Amino acid sequence: MFGMPRMRRLAISILVALSILYAALEGFGIALLLPVLQHAENGPEVVHRPTRA
């Protein structure tokens, strides 16, 4: 009933590359958003806390 659509190797490669690029950019965006979310949740002490002892 439903056959596999015919796609060229180039089209498949482009789709895979775009998917990987999208996932990488989404991870980068979440990494940028994480400190803002921590500040909203815990207040300003998260920003001023030293990372090393």
Question: 34 lies in which domain range?
Answer: 28-53
pTM (two decimals): 0.59
Q: Report the domain count for the chain.
A: 1
Per-residue model confidence (pLDDT) at position 26: 95
Note whether residue 34 is domain-resident: yes
Note whether residue 23 is domain-resident: no
Note whether residue 48 is domain-resident: yes
DSSP string for 20-42: HHHHHHHHHHHHHHHHHHHHHHH
pLDDT in tens, 5-53: 777 888 889 999 999 999 999 999 999 998 888 888 887 665 566 666 5
Of 9, 29, 6, nearest in space to 17 by CA: 9
Note whether residue 5 is domain-resident: no
